[in-house]
Amino acid sequence: MENVSAERSAGWSVLCYVLLLIVASLMTSPMPSVNQGPADLAALVDAHRTVILLSAWLAFPASAFFLWFLVGLRGYLKQAPGRQEGLPTFALIAGVVMVAGSLFAASLETVIGYATPEAFQSNGIAGIYSAYMFIQGGLGYAPVAIFLFAAAHSMRRHAFAPAWLAWFGYAAAAGAGIATLSIFFTDPFMSPNGFGPGLFGALPSAVWLIATGVVMIRTHGISVGAAAEAP
């Protein structure tokens, strides 16, 4: 049976998730380049230790909000008429992988922030920092692309959401796919710790999540045809 209240709350949940991501990103931006020496990295981390640790901790409530959104989105998509081909579950699984990767990256971030400058240099934590940056800006976007494509494809096939939302989901999935290619670049723009992956991957994804949350809040409980025609 349809649970309108729960699925609307999932829409609000994803808005909270995006807000926490923005806060965490602003707290740690811009992150130092992986090309900096261990001594310079250690000094920068030491100067921003509390902020780095708080940013990492925010992955905990953010994950809770996103998981609830995933559950609500799966229920929302499964309300569509016609034969279900498993796309809502596919999106759910990809979203769970996203959360797992996020928590793993946050764990690496706590190692970076917790270590003293002496330990940072002597225990090879500069390598952990590089791993953190590559997860954040490299193949970490792979499950994002899969999640966005699965959700958008389900929306388009069953016309259970505004058509523009499905097509924008495709575009955001393509952007996240482009962001995974950052592992092949070393220039300041498109490398994993450059501005490019965020521009192609994070920004369109965040906009799509916000739009989806708003649609779930505003249109749930309306007939399928009305939902498809909603602006």
If you ran DSSP here, which 8-state letter would residue 86 be given?
Answer: S
pLDDT band at 230 (very low <50, low <70, confident <90, very high): very low
The answer to whether the beta carbons of residues 117 and 46 sit under 8 Å apart is yes
- Tens of pLDDT, residues 118-144: 877 777 788 888 888 888 888 999 999
The pTM is what? 0.87
* DSSP calls for 99-151: HHHHHHHHHHHHHHHHS-HHHHHHTTHHHHHHHHHHHHHSGGGHHHHHHHHHH
Per-residue confidence (pLDDT) for residue 226, from 0 to 100: 41
Q: Which of 73-82, 156-165, 172-181 has the least mean pLDDT?
A: 73-82
Binned at pLDDT 50, 70 and 90, residue 220 comes out as low
Residue 184 has pLDDT above 60, yes or no: yes
Confidence of residue 38 (pLDDT cuts 50, 70, 90): confident
Evaluate if residue 200 carries a pLDDT over 70: yes
pLDDT for residue 3 is more than 90: no
How far, in Å, are 50, 133, 211 from residue 203 at the CA level?
A: 26, 17, 12
Specify the pLDDT at position 170: 98
Mean pLDDT for the chain? 87
Q: Please check the confidence at residue 149 and state whether its pLDDT lies above 90.
A: yes
47-100 tens-digit pLDDT:
888 999 999 999 999 999 999 999 999 988 888 776 667 899 999 999 999 999
Q: Are 192 and 183 in contact (CB under 8 A)?
A: yes
